[in-house]
Structure formats: structure tokens, C-alpha cells
Amino acid sequence: MNCPLCAVPGGTILWRDDFCRVVLADEPDYPGFLRVILAAHVKEMTDLPPAAQRRVLDVVLAAEAALREVLAPDKVNLASLGNVVPHLHWHVIPRFADDPHFPNPVWGARVRNTPHAVPADAGERLAASFTRRLGRARERE
């Protein structure tokens, strides 16, 4: 199997446990763009038992709450696509009225050239918020 989300972290890891990880994606136009990536190679939410489905959603909701706490976006977009990489992961994207595509989707027509500015320590503050919401991160063995 040649799955990029099995092979590499997919961004800067802010929080992880044995079930999933939350990464800060390298998306220059979207500082604060998070991905919640399941540790196991699973394609769809319905491939998981109900308790695991709820656990994924709990982490996605913690990611949204952390973004709202730390960055105060105008809106948060949630998406689980997987058309290109069929490994279960969620995009948690803070949207700002002055971001490059707002009000269009992030893959829509660009309406301005500069990304929304966020504090330099946003990643550290987001990681701390995850620890408060989800418990201490654990390194995978």
C-alpha cells in the first residue's frame, strides 16, 4: 500500500494518541488549517464501529473548539473528502473574512492575495488547547 497518510505525519503534529493525530497543515494561505488523521488505514467513517466514529468526531470538535479559542475565525469549515487520499481524515479549516478565498470555498476562486495573519505562537497555543480538551498527547510506539 502506498498511502501518504500512513507513511508521513501529514503536517506538524500538535496532538496524538494511539487512535489519531491532529496536525497543523502546511497551507500558507490558511494558517491554522488542521487535519485530524486516523492512525489506522480506514477509508470511510462507516468502516468504524460506532464508538470509534464518535471518538473521531470528538477530536474533530475539539479541533474546531481550539481554533475558535485561539484564532477566533469568522467561520470554521469541516470536510472529510478523501478522493485523492482514501485514508480517513478530516480538514478543520479556520476561515476569516480577509482570507484569500472568503467567502468562496478554499478551493474556489481567489478574491485576495494575502492570507489572514495569525500569532506566531498559534501552533503552540493550539497544542495546549488540545491537551486541555483531549488529555496529554501520547507518542505512538
Query: Would you list the domain boundaries of the chain?
Result: 4-134
The reported pTM is: 0.91
pLDDT, residue 7, reads 87
Give CA–CA dist 3/52, Å, rounded: 21
CA–chain centroid gap for 84, Å, is: 17
Residue 78 and residue 64 in contact, taking contact as beta carbons nearer than 8 Å = yes
Q: Exposed, middle or buried: residue 28 (CB in 10 Å: 0-12, 13-18, 19+)?
A: exposed
In terms of pLDDT, which residue wins out, 4 or 139?
Answer: 4
Helices 122-134, 50-71: crossing angle, 10 deg rounding: 140
**How high is the mean pLDDT of the chain?**
92
pLDDT, residue 141, reads 39
As assigned by CATH, the class of the 4-134 domain is alpha beta
pLDDT digits (tens, 9 = 90+) for 11-40: 999 999 999 999 999 898 999 999 999 999
111 confidence band (pLDDT: 50, 70, 90) = very high
pLDDT, residue 125, reads 94
The C-alpha cell at 65 is: 473548539
Ranges 62-66, 115-119, 133-137: which has the least confidence: 133-137
Mean pLDDT (whole number) for 73-96: 93
Mean pLDDT (whole number) for 67-86: 93
pLDDT, residue 138, reads 64
Q: How many CA atoms lie within 13 A of 99 on its CB side?
A: 27
